[in-house]
Structure 1
Amino acid sequence: MVTRTADGRQTGTQADGRDESAHERADRMWGDRLQEIRVAQTGVQILFGFLLTVVFQPTYRRLSEADQTLYMVTIVLGATAIGTLVAPVAFHRIVSGRRIKPEAVVRASRLTMLGLFLLLVTMTSSLLLVLRTATQDDGYVPWIVAGVAALYILCWFVIPMVICLRKAPGRDAGAGD
């Protein structure tokens, strides 16, 4: 049962088993998002840093036109992944104190999901570029890259979505987020 205190604060057990107000929940979820973003940002920024150095290597000019195009696409994907993963931080800074944290959490989650998708595509594109360059053989490289991309998709999106569908409202909700 949910009740309100004299100051209007919501108390009691929520549907997910937590005893927190909507604002406390938004604060907790915001902290969770920031931790998730920190992990993803580090990886994409390191990858992007390495990618930036490729064009300055003497061997870059020896890449085929297709591989140079693939490199440029990969760089743009990496830049957009970084921008999208940093966006929730800028978003929070701008809307902070405006009493819209629950909405900010939703928007930040969407930006993070987009950033993770762009990171997936950047990593896949990077792997394709490196393996094409390293092997000089396009026969099996696309299969390896497709397998790695499928693993990313499975671990990052499919398994979490299956778990969410299994724990849909009306079922044993457990401890929530």
Structure 2
Amino acid sequence: MEQESRRTGRDETEDERADRMWGDLIQEVRVAQTGVQILFGFLLTVVFTPRFTTLSDTDEAIYIVTVVLGSAATGALIGPVALHRLVSGRRMKPQAVAWASRLTFVGLVLLLATMTAALLLVLRVATHDDYVPWLVTGVVLWYVLCWFVLPLWTRYRYTTR
């Protein structure tokens, strides 16, 4: 235990660590859940607007893909709550944290895809310009940098060995 405590900088049991990590994970999921639920809610209303009937076949296909991606992202980001509820009290918190973390990561990837598709659709409908794919690519690269590259670089750079 002494060696583990020096390596991590924390003096906590496996259960205490799992409790802490669960709390951290749920706070993170709350942020992502809110974003995906608001986006998904707006996406669901689009089909009921008069403009929807004027969409081209391509834009309609992008809309359908966006809604399906948003639905999948919502499921993945709500998944940790259902997981916790179904395994709570069964002395499997470390395993629940690991699976909830995986679901959250999948949810973030699906949220990235949803936001990409939604941005593509909105900009295509709003501008009809050839630069839209380039603009969307730039925004996606920004998301990837903020959500994945910087965190992974930070993890690599500052992980104690």
- TM-score scaled by length of structure 1: 0.88
Written as runs of structure 1 = structure 2, the 5 A alignment for 1:5-16 is 13-16=5-8
Higher Cα radius of gyration:
1
Structure 2 unaligned spans of 5+: none
Q: For the residues of structure 1 that align with 2:128 and 2:133, how far apart are their CA atoms?
A: 12
Instruction: Give, in angstroms, the shift of residue 168 of structure 1.
Output: 3.5
Alignment partner of 1:59 out of 45, 51, 56: 51
Q: Does 2:137 align with 1:146?
A: yes
Is 1:157 the counterpart of 2:123 in the alignment?
no
Matched residue, 1:166? 157
Partner residue of 1:71? 63
**5+ long unaligned stretches in structure 1:** 4-11, 171-177
Deviation at 1:152, TM superposition (A): 0.3
SS in structure 1 opposite 2:26?
helix
Matched, 1:38 2:25: no
SS of match in other structure, 2:113 = helix
Determine if the alignment matches structure 1 residue 24 to structure 2 residue 16.
yes
Residue identity (%): 61
Instruction: Identify, as 1 or 2, the structure richer in helix.
Output: 2
CA distance in 2 between partners of 1:22 and 1:79 (Å): 34
CA-based RMSD: 1.4
Cα distance in 2 between the residues matched to 1:33 and 1:41: 12
Cα deviation code 1:33-74 (max 9, x no counterpart): 000000000010000111101000011010000000000000
AA in 2 matched with 1:158? V
Corresponding residue number in structure 1 for 2:2: 2
